[in-house]
Amino acid sequence: MIKEYAHIAIVALILLTLPLWLNFTTATDILVFGLYAMAFNVALGFAGILSFGHAAFFGVGAYAAGLALRYFGASVWTAIFWAVLCASLVALLMGALCVKKRGVYFALLIAAFAQMFYFLALSPLRFITGGEDGLKGIEVLKLKFPVHADLGHPAALFGFIFCILIVCILVMHRFVHSPLGSLMKGLEENEPRLRACGYNTNAVKIWAFAVSGLFSGVAGALYTVNLGYVPLDSLYWLNSGTPLVMTLLGGMHTFFGPLLGAGIFIFFQDNVSVYTARWEFFVGALVVILILIFPGGILGTVKEKIAQADEGDRQGIWFWLKKLS
Amino acid sequence: MACSWPCAGVPSVVNSESKMFHIPPNILLMQAIIGLALGAVFVLLASGLSMIYGLMDVVNFAHGVFFMLGAYAVYQFNLTLGNFWVGVALAVLAVALLGALTEISLLRPLYKTGNLLYPLLLTFGLALALPDVVKMFYGLMPMPVNYPEGLQGSLLVGPLIVPKYRLFVIVLTFSVMFSLWLFLKKSNLGMILRATTTDKGMVDAMGINVNRVVTLGFSIGIALAALGGAVAAPMVSVEPNMGVNIVLQCFVVTVVGGLGSLGGAVVSGVIIGEVVAFTSLFAGGYADVVIYFVMAVILLVRPRGLFGELSRE
């Protein structure tokens, strides 16, 4: 267990150094989307549940936080609380409704439900959500507890989001390594067998999905805090593909893979888009290449290489990485 | 995101106070025809998607992109050759060929992994990348495709107004679907295709090259999508993201009809087309979302769709 926490500490340290070689904006974006991708991976990589509707949880979290901040003058913590509450409720409901459908039907049904939220924000609830323009008018936030900080300052914002991310990582880690987490893994590996062992696989699915939605909601809230407004696009179903691509990039079956994937994706987005508006082409091409050659993603392939490294290859880098990790 | 669809043929005659009975029947009929034309495009798309899923167990996320390519191809051929009909035929052939190449080079290597997630994700990657390729060549502005001569305007049958082009789309789609049905039911190759959707291993054991059958089936599915795009081109705005907007709706139609069932795709396409058309007449803003309600209701009540097969793991 100590090894695992050491890993988390190393990752935390690396994240802390991000603003040194990237600017604060990019670094903070990476933190937010890293959380989103990791939340998504709780469902996909650890429980085997594919969903194209995570934009609903992210977006609901973002709007919940935004509404709380804009209309109720809430503190940041309250906003996050409401985001967590709403996003997990939505995930619980959607999961419970759709749980009996298999694989791709589930994913598409969730996407369709997610699109309903998009539409709700676009049209009928336009007077509170701002419709196509998104939710604006959120004022620069001040943090009162546990320290005083002006979140308008990029470094403070980064620090705040970093702390929340680390807390979420610790909780997610605990969850994934809990008995329920093991059940999730069983779900991913061999569902009929899990059922044959007497477990209620539907309940496991719903829980996994709800947890995934919960952390996506936190990511959404942090997105709002980071951006200062809520774009309507955060609810659009195709943007559920963003955490998917990040997870694929970094490694679907690894814990930190999505975080790495998010880093690379955001880096790409911010730097390639300087040269061309066609950066989505590169992302799409990257997905295609990854699936064909490295379906395990970066971390997945690295882990594979490490696992395969044996005593005979004492000079190899993989062998020494194995000794270290 | 107003109803970007070809159901805005009729200026909304409904204000908040008028009721259904105040709408003259010829307007209702015209909207029904518009709905049927919309349904026809859905049918083309959904049947293609259904066929691909039946053959490969893969939900083709790139389906919308091939729809878009069909529309752009018809724009290009129309521009360079000046003839709409030749343009449509060439567009379908060209995009179908592209589909075949895609399947052979990108999807086939993934079959041996046995993991159904990877081909799906690959098509998702294509759906991200290809619109940008189109943007590189054609930019972001919508491209105009004119109605062909002879099909502009409407027929006046007594008091009824029937838009000519929509009628053409309906007739074309049902002819194509009928031919497809004939092909699948009565021809040898059609029988092989059907057998492959049911039991790929057995077809392989019979000595038939299953890879080629799958490529053929995939190309037919893509050809249908391209045809949908080609005929929809004059009715909608031809722009790079038109595929993205349509693909989820297309999924809904397919899933409601039942993944893998062609008959289901036809019935479901028609129903949903009409639902969208009439919703946009009575409650314009909700036209885009009513589809999702329909899908939610149908899937919750009948999980495999209207005509879907029972268990497909």
Residues B125, A244: C-beta atoms closer than 8 Å: no
Disruptive mutation site among B124, B135, B246, B313 for chain A (greatest number of A CBs within 10 Å): B124
**Cα distance from A13 to chain B (closest Cα, Å)?**
32
**Cα distance from B303 to chain A (closest Cα, Å)?**
7
| Average pLDDT for B49-64 | 88
In B104-229, beta strands by DSSP E: 154-157, 160-163
Interface check for B1 against chain A (CB to CB < 8 A): the answer is yes
B117: closest CA among B191, B34, B29, B56? B56
Question: Which residue in A has a C-alpha nearest to residue B135's C-alpha?
Answer: A278
Q: Is the four-CA dihedral A241, A292, B213, B195 of positive or negative sign?
A: negative
Whether A271 is covered by a domain: the verdict is no
Disruptive mutation site among B58, B128, B137, B252 for chain A (greatest number of A CBs within 10 Å): B128
Residues B106, A288: C-beta atoms closer than 8 Å: yes
Residues A284, B244: C-beta atoms closer than 8 Å: no
Residues B125, A286: C-beta atoms closer than 8 Å: yes
How far out from the chain centre does Cα A88 lie?
Answer: 14
Predicted confidence at residue B93, as pLDDT, reads 94
Q: Tell me, what amino acid is at B17?
A: E
Report in angstroms the alpha-carbon separations of B60 from B63, B103, B134: 5, 11, 19
The C-alpha atoms of residue A109 and residue A115 are separated, in whole angstroms, by: 10
Tell me how far apart the terminal alpha carbons of chain A are, to the nearest angstrom: 12
Pinpoint the alpha helices (H) of A228-256. Answer: 241-250
Q: What residue ranges of chain A have pLDDT lower than 50?
A: none
pLDDT at B169 exceeding the cut of 60: yes
Q: Is the four-CA dihedral B306, B307, B311, B313 of positive or negative sign?
A: negative
The C-alpha atoms of residue B135 and residue A286 are separated, in whole angstroms, by: 18
By CB atoms closer than 10 A (0-12, 13-18, 19+), residue B309 is middle
Task: List A143's β-bridge partners, or say none.
Answer: A149
Structure-token match 């609810």, residue found: A235
Whether A173 is covered by a domain: the verdict is yes
CATH code at position B68: 1.10.3470
Predicted confidence at residue B8, as pLDDT, reads 46
The C-alpha atoms of residue B61 and residue B117 are separated, in whole angstroms, by: 12
Q: Which of A213-222, A246-255, B64-73, B296-305 has the lowest mean pLDDT?
A: B296-305
Whether B106 is covered by a domain: the verdict is yes
The C-alpha atoms of residue B288 and residue B41 are separated, in whole angstroms, by: 16
Q: Tell me, what amino acid is at A156?
A: A
Report in angstroms the alpha-carbon separations of A184 from A40, A96, A191, A211, B171: 14, 16, 9, 11, 51
Whether B15 is covered by a domain: the verdict is no
Nearest-by-Cβ selection for A123 from B121, B251, B285: B285
Number of domains in chain B: 1
Whether A133 is covered by a domain: the verdict is yes
Question: Could you tell me the residue range of the domain that residue B185 belongs to?
Answer: 22-301
Interface check for B128 against chain A (CB to CB < 8 A): the answer is yes
**Cα distance from B61 to chain A (closest Cα, Å)?**
11
On chain B, the residues whose CB falls within 8 A of the CB of A103 are 116
pLDDT at B304 exceeding the cut of 50: yes
Confidence of residue B72 (pLDDT cuts 50, 70, 90): very high
Number of domains in chain A: 1
Whether B4 is covered by a domain: the verdict is no
DSSP per residue over B80-129, as a string? HH--HHHHHHHHHHHHHHHHHHHIIIIIHHHHTT--THHHHHHHHHHHHH
Whether B17 is covered by a domain: the verdict is no
**Cα distance from A147 to chain B (closest Cα, Å)?**
43
**Buried/exposed code over A272-290 (b: 16+ C-beta within 10 A; e: otherwise):** beeeeebbbbbbbbbbbeb
Structure-token match 């995930």, residue found: A91
Whether A117 is covered by a domain: the verdict is yes
pLDDT at B5 exceeding the cut of 80: no
Query: How many CB atoms are located within 10 Å of the residue B154 CB?
Result: 16
Whether B308 is covered by a domain: the verdict is no
Task: Tell me the whole-structure pTM to 2 decimals.
Answer: 0.84
pLDDT at B11 exceeding the cut of 70: no
Task: List B160's β-bridge partners, or say none.
Answer: B157
Report in angstroms the alpha-carbon separations of B162 from A179, B165, B279: 64, 9, 19
As for the ipTM of the complex, it is 0.80
| pLDDT tens profile B178-200 | 999 999 999 999 999 888 888 88
User: Which residues lie closer than 8 Å to A276 by C-beta, 6 or more apart?
Assistant: none
The C-alpha atoms of residue A63 and residue A69 are separated, in whole angstroms, by: 10
Helix (H, G, I), strand (E, B) or coil at B66: helix
Residues B296, A112: C-beta atoms closer than 8 Å: yes
Question: Could you tell me the residue range of the domain that residue A101 belongs to?
Answer: 2-236
Is residue A138 within a helix (H) or strand (E), and if so which, with residue range? none
In degrees and rounded to multiples of 5, residue B154 shows phi and psi of: -130, 155
| pLDDT tens profile B189-233 | 999 988 888 888 888 898 888 889 999 999 999 999 999 999 998
A191: closest CA among A41, A49, A38, A42? A49
| Average pLDDT for B269-289 | 83
Residues B132, A284: C-beta atoms closer than 8 Å: yes
Disruptive mutation site among A50, A272, A281 for chain B (greatest number of B CBs within 10 Å): A281
| Average pLDDT for B84-109 | 90
The whole-chain average pLDDT of chain B stands at 82
Whether A258 is covered by a domain: the verdict is no
pLDDT at B110 exceeding the cut of 60: yes
